[in-house]
Structure 1
């Protein structure tokens, strides 16, 4: 990966657009990125990281944190990076999510994050994608590194590696795990542990299942097994074999008990069959003896009822003779009923006739009806005229009512229209006033909101002004405390330096080399004086000084923040007093509320005016229709009056009398109907009398032929259906009983049984029930024995199957447990007790130490070599992640924590470069042509600095460009290619200088 061009806008401390040409800087191989503290040197590296990964190292991850506070709101924050990776020339442009002024109106709007990726192909830039996810995946795949790996390998933060040198094995393991992505090995450890737990659970489940099976077999074999259940614990060797052996013996005992029970059942069945047969024979003998006794009793009953049977037979014979006369009897009864009904109808009809017709015959009555019908026909035309006259009177009355209603409607419409025109002017005035109030409310609303913001800013200004003295006091106290702590620390340090000889002498022992002169003899060691300061007191004072200084800086930041907020609030309030602003806002709000209230009448006034116009149109339409109806009624009334006069003249000529034609016609119609009904009734009475005479003659003839003295005797001999069925049923029952008794007396079985001794079915039944109970008990014992054998066979088969399934599971569990313990470092086979992930990290650390050792030897002029240590750390720490330094001058191996500040820097630099090489190889051999080294050179002396720069210069052998981020002045004379970051009140800017040129 080689960087070519970086362009940043409104990013970090850079207010405008800054362009960096890395091709020009990289031409010399080594270039310097320098500038004062806080100018933005690290922001350049943040911009590179943001362009590649969409985020920056550290806590500033949000778009608001990336945006420059010096930039104008209309300028968008943007980073563009051009680079070559995997032989592809790419350009990445990113803009974070940020706020900008609205294009229309006031205020801010939020723009989403934007990312674009282009590639240079055949001299032309081609757009590839605008998707954040796709571009992120593409860059990560091309670089072969995550953001964390990139920040450790390309940006080389020295402070992190100084801590890495002094950290314990756990901290080193976390960093190496993140860089080399050894999570898969940790996942393998977890996976093996999970497999072991799963296998252990399956084995335990199989053991529990086998134990449960054993208890069920013991339950099934209760009372038959001669040997007790094995008392071994499941999982112990031989448990399954002993259980299966015990099950075999239990099955043999159960089968023997089953055979014994089967023999007992067969004997009980034979006894039960004999007892059942005896009980059946006793019941049959008792039944035949009872049957014989019942037949004899029924024969005696038949003999006692012979006379009653003969009377019933004679009565049935006489009723059969009367059946031949029955049709004539029914015909004569019907004729008599018809004649009586006809006489009654004649009497009722004659009551409605006048006296001269009360005794008239049918012929005269029919003649009178004919005459009345003729007279009624002559009055039909007059009746229709009379009905028409009544209809005309009703219609004329309706016309009068309509005329009265229309007169009232016209009067009401004229009165309403007379008052409408004055009301319409008042409504128009209300609408105009409401419209003016709405316009005024809209204007006041636009003024109220800014004034409310001014009032809020003024109140915030007053609150901040009240809080400012307290913040100033806190800052003064913190500054005095920091000054006092600084003085105490300097005083203690000076006192300690004055007595440093005594402190060094106190650490000397017999034969120890003096740290000053190197002598092993100490004739006159220095003595401590009263009040001498020691290291602990100085370090405590230094810590107190740093805490006080931090508190002073916090108080200073808080004071500046409050002053800036106060100035901003005062500017927003326009420098005006809060009371005046509040009074003005209150007056504006009151005016605004009055205008809103007045404008609220606009809708009601408009609707009232619209309703009035619609009502006016409706009233005018009603007037027009009423006038049209009045004209139509006038012509209709004239026609109806003429027709009414004509019909009344015609009725006067008919002479219907005061009651009228209709009354006279109704009277004639009622008289004709009464005469007609009387004639019909008289004619029907005459015909029914004739039919009664014929029925009497037919009845006398039928009774004589049937053998009865008179019709009355025949009628008395007739039986109704119920009586007939009763007597016939009694006769047939007598005959059936007689036939049954005769057949029973002829059967020899009951006769033979009657001569034997009386039977005792109850005693035989008792014997049979006892045999049944003994058979049931024997069958239950047999069924239980057979069920026990079946259950033991089934459970034994299942136990064998369980034992067969459990054996390979137990073998798998033992194998997985051995592998999981080995990977977790708890197995005795793992001599160093190293976990799998730690073993891999130790191998990677060994590679890093080997790569770093070469550079460290050159940086230290052959004195130091960095080596990897497999020694286990103290306590419960990891083994295999130790780092040691071999000092060639003394031939001893030292802990990295004993290095001085300058030594720690170049050792950590060598370690960082070695780690970069190993991570690069781990990432698939991606070529890293641009590296950055951040700070740390100020701790080196001149000779060591030369040697370190020689090592960095040697990196160009791989065609690499190395950027040094530092503000050490000596580097400006040693590194000709420089990128200077200068800070100013309106934002930082970059100046690029190379040998013989300046830009």
Structure 2
């Protein structure tokens, strides 16, 4: 990331818009940001950090960065253009702020906003460059910046910006925090996912293995076996009883099948006897129905004869009905013709009444024209009168306005004079309280340094207490070790004595002593007291107790030494910090806090005065505008008065010309309109009645012609229907004579409806078929029975039921035995499969489980895979950092990585140490002095920048900003640090330094000067 352009408006101490074009400093500059305390040097870094992430390098909120000197109507805003490789981006960001409302009076709170653009063309000034919008919300812009730069807010402050009071953060960060920074810079999340994936797989395998073990145990318990071998023996032992039961079942089945066969044959013979009896009974019933069937056949024959002459009868009936209908239609047509002739005569007589209508209409139209002319003249007179009334009113109104505006102008002029006097007095009050911004920043810096002193003092008190607490168990442990050693020595002495007594018990007269070889034993050793003898186990336990106490003593001694070393380090830091404070150390943080409170009250009062001043300026502007407006209105109203008087005179002259005798003014427009409308209505009524009479005459003539045609047609149709009836009647009479029916009544009685005909036919047909079926069945049954007698089925049925019950009982026993055998076999097979799976999982877990533990840090180094990778990368960073640190410290210090964890309960691998060649020992980085810490942090940031860019093309760190810290260096160290930074500039880096050190002004020619003024600070680049 390389800065190109920065614009700040109403931001920090800058009341108006201030810009920095970094190209003015050179291609890859080493430049100094210079200015007095509180002028706003650090604000440049705050502005870049705020534009990118919405916060400052000192964790101040965006809304607190608004300049107190800014005009209330000016909005706080930062615009920052930077380059990432070949791509250029611009960020515009505004904080939440309160400014003058754009509409109406008062103030309005405006929410924070942000936009991110990509520069696509560079024409004109930087703010005129052509852009493409990428994001337009506060959250989305910050997220996209994180993705583009590859650093979040905290990481940016640690790697790119070393802000005031925080240059040691990256150097002294906790191992976990440093892991987060390195992981983001080097994009090593994939190794974390590998750790997690292997751990989850190992856990899943372990869970599956134990689940299988529980499942194996449960299967055996549910089956009621203590081992799988017993289950297998049971499965084999069940085969013989099952075979015997199957043999018994087959025998019962054969017996039952033979009995069933005998029963089936007996049932068939019984059915034959029953069928023969039923057929004979049915034959008797059919014989009784023969007479009724014969009557039905006769009735059907007569019906067939009637149907043969039925068409002629139907034709005769239809012709008779048609003639009757035609006679009725003829009578109706005759009546309609007579009615039409009567209507035509009435229409002709009505039309004769309207022969004078055209003349009447012409006379009425002439009257209407006279009324129209009279109405036009009256409307002209009335319009002139109305206009005259309006002009007269306008003249009077202009006279009143002229008088009113003269009074208002006098009041406004007096208000302007009074406001100018008040404004002069308030300006004097505001000028008395300027430049509080610099004083506030100075007090905040002093408060922060005093709070750091108080924090160190409290930490020293805590560490002194820790030393005292650590020494108490140390003394107790020394006494415990001494007691354990005495007890062990006494026990060992007693053991040696008891060994002599044991040998004495085994001596026999005349046999040599195994110790001295003598055959005489004048004074063998004996025990002075009765009791248990000391054993070898007791001696080993006593020695182990001594070893354990000694180990505990060493651990406590190391703890005391560590606590004393920590205390000494803190005391050294406090001493260094007090030296840096100087006379400020005599003050308390509470007094500085009270000064800040007083200053805040003063700023609040000043803010109220400024707001009142702005309101008064606004009121003066409004009064001036109001005065100008009143003068313009006075001129306007005077012109209107002259114009109105001229118009009144002109209208009065025109009215005398139009209506000189004033007769038109006595007439009413409504009366003339009423007369004219009455004549129009009379014309409309005459025209309507005349047209209606013509239409009725035409309609009557048309209806008469239609009625005549209909009457003639009806006469012809009646004659045709009568001829058709005569022909049909002749044909029917001929057919009736030829048939066997006496008359038409006999013919009608012979006809049957379709439903009765179908019933009779079905009756005859069914009787005939049933008679054939019954005779056939009787013959077949008598042949099948022969000379056999009817069997007794109850005996055979009882035998079959008994055999079925026996067979079912044995079959149930067999199925139960087979089911249990199958369940046992399935259980054994499932158990064996689970055993195989369990063995496979156990083998797999030996490999994956060990791998998961190793990758997740369960190893001698307490280092996970992710930390191992980061440790390798950190070694590269420390190598590059140490090259520069050696240059800045005359080869005294090198940065190294602690190989083992300082605390076995925590993961190691990323803790930093400093290798001091003067002492030949490694020590904690927090033991460095202020100047040494600054150089180490600077070297670490530079080394981080080099390695990050060499490993990842996605993250480019082309810029480094350093805020203070050089004041802690002596002249020689300062020369060495400047040389390192100059070498970086030669390699294509942009280095910005904020410092009060006067020697830097002589060594660095490129500068951004921050100039403090009464109304806010300004910038000068060169």
Please classify the TM superposition score into its range, dividing by the shorter chain length: 0.5 to 0.7
Q: 2:588 aligns with which of 526, 542, 553?
A: 542
- Give the Å deviation of 1:172: 3.4
Residue equivalent to 1:274 = 258
Residue equivalent to 2:948 = 919
Does the 8 Å CA contact 2:881/2:941 hold for their aligned counterparts? yes
In 2, Cα distance between equivalents of 1:31 and 1:988: 20
Q: 1:187 aligns with which of 175, 184, 193?
A: 193
In 1, Cα distance between equivalents of 2:738 and 2:54: 129
**1:49/1:870 Cα in 2 relative to 1: closer, same or farther (>3 Å)?**
same
- Structure-to-structure mapping, 1:794-813, within 5 angstroms: 807-813=839-845
- Give the Å deviation of 1:808: 4.3
Residue equivalent to 1:656 = none
In 2, Cα distance between equivalents of 1:986 and 1:157: 26
Q: Secondary structure at the match of 2:261?
A: helix
Residue equivalent to 1:347 = none
Residue equivalent to 1:41 = 41
In 2, Cα distance between equivalents of 1:50 and 1:262: 93
Residue equivalent to 1:971 = 1000
Residue equivalent to 1:389 = 345
Residue 771 (1) aligns with residue 803 (2): yes
Residue 196 (1) aligns with residue 202 (2): yes
Q: Secondary structure at the match of 1:834?
A: coil
CA displacement 1:512-561 (0-9 Å, x = unmatched):
xxxxxxxxxxxxxxxxxxxxxxxxxx999835445545544555555544
CA displacement 1:792-840 (0-9 Å, x = unmatched):
6666666655655565444444433222211222x3xx11222233333
In 2, Cα distance between equivalents of 1:884 and 1:113: 41
Residue equivalent to 1:940 = 969
Residue equivalent to 1:626 = 684
Does the 8 Å CA contact 1:129/1:135 hold for their aligned counterparts? no
Question: What is the count of residue pairs matched by the alignment?
Answer: 743
- Give the Å deviation of 1:965: 1.5
**Structure 2: where are the runs of 5+ without partners?**
321-330, 395-425, 427-432, 458-463, 472-583, 624-669, 702-706, 716-720, 751-755
In 2, Cα distance between equivalents of 1:174 and 1:790: 61
**1:971/1:388 Cα in 2 relative to 1: closer, same or farther (>3 Å)?**
closer
Residue equivalent to 1:32 = 32
Q: 2:897 aligns with which of 865, 868, 874?
A: 868
- Give the Å deviation of 1:951: 4.9
Aligned Cα root-mean-square deviation (Å): 7.7
In 1, Cα distance between equivalents of 2:6 and 2:763: 133
- Structure-to-structure mapping, 1:578-589, within 5 angstroms: none
Residue 884 (1) aligns with residue 890 (2): no
In 2, Cα distance between equivalents of 1:731 and 1:897: 127
CA displacement 1:475-503 (0-9 Å, x = unmatched):
9xxx9xx99x99xx99x99xx9xxxxxx9
In 2, Cα distance between equivalents of 1:734 and 1:19: 124
Residue equivalent to 1:752 = 787
TM-score calculated relative to the size of structure 1: 0.54
Residue 265 (1) aligns with residue 249 (2): yes
- Structure-to-structure mapping, 1:827-846, within 5 angstroms: 827=858, 830-846=859-875
In 2, Cα distance between equivalents of 1:727 and 1:48: 115
Residue equivalent to 1:15 = 17
- Give the Å deviation of 1:966: 0.4
**1:410/1:944 Cα in 2 relative to 1: closer, same or farther (>3 Å)?**
same
**1:192/1:404 Cα in 2 relative to 1: closer, same or farther (>3 Å)?**
farther
In 1, Cα distance between equivalents of 2:919 and 2:803: 113
- Give the Å deviation of 1:318: 15
In 2, Cα distance between equivalents of 1:207 and 1:621: 118
In 1, Cα distance between equivalents of 2:28 and 2:35: 19
CA displacement 1:264-287 (0-9 Å, x = unmatched):
331221121132134335445655
Q: Secondary structure at the match of 2:588?
A: helix
In 2, Cα distance between equivalents of 1:178 and 1:761: 99
- Give the Å deviation of 1:144: 8.4
Residue equivalent to 1:817 = 849
In 1, Cα distance between equivalents of 2:260 and 2:734: 81
- Structure-to-structure mapping, 1:594-613, within 5 angstroms: none
In 2, Cα distance between equivalents of 1:722 and 1:811: 92
In 2, Cα distance between equivalents of 1:943 and 1:294: 141
- Give the Å deviation of 1:935: 0.6
Residue 895 (1) aligns with residue 924 (2): yes
In 2, Cα distance between equivalents of 1:56 and 1:893: 36
- Give the Å deviation of 1:768: 1.2
- Structure-to-structure mapping, 1:776-787, within 5 angstroms: 776-784=808-816
In 1, Cα distance between equivalents of 2:81 and 2:338: 118
**1:723/1:93 Cα in 2 relative to 1: closer, same or farther (>3 Å)?**
closer
In 1, Cα distance between equivalents of 2:336 and 2:169: 135
- Structure-to-structure mapping, 1:416-435, within 5 angstroms: none
Residue 160 (1) aligns with residue 166 (2): yes
- Structure-to-structure mapping, 1:720-759, within 5 angstroms: 747=782, 750=785, 752-754=787-789, 759=791
In 1, Cα distance between equivalents of 2:969 and 2:730: 160
Q: Secondary structure at the match of 1:33?
A: strand
**1:982/1:322 Cα in 2 relative to 1: closer, same or farther (>3 Å)?**
closer
Residue equivalent to 2:90 = 94
**1:900/1:64 Cα in 2 relative to 1: closer, same or farther (>3 Å)?**
closer
In 1, Cα distance between equivalents of 2:305 and 2:289: 29
Does the 8 Å CA contact 1:80/1:91 hold for their aligned counterparts? no
Q: Secondary structure at the match of 1:96?
A: strand
Does the 8 Å CA contact 2:893/2:916 hold for their aligned counterparts? yes
Q: Secondary structure at the match of 2:166?
A: helix
- Give the Å deviation of 1:760: 2.4
Q: Secondary structure at the match of 1:116?
A: strand
Q: Secondary structure at the match of 1:984?
A: coil
In 2, Cα distance between equivalents of 1:741 and 1:409: 114
Does the 8 Å CA contact 2:89/2:119 hold for their aligned counterparts? yes
- Structure-to-structure mapping, 1:977-992, within 5 angstroms: 977-992=1006-1021
TM-score calculated relative to the size of structure 2: 0.53
- Give the Å deviation of 1:35: 0.8
**1:766/1:961 Cα in 2 relative to 1: closer, same or farther (>3 Å)?**
closer
**1:623/1:45 Cα in 2 relative to 1: closer, same or farther (>3 Å)?**
same
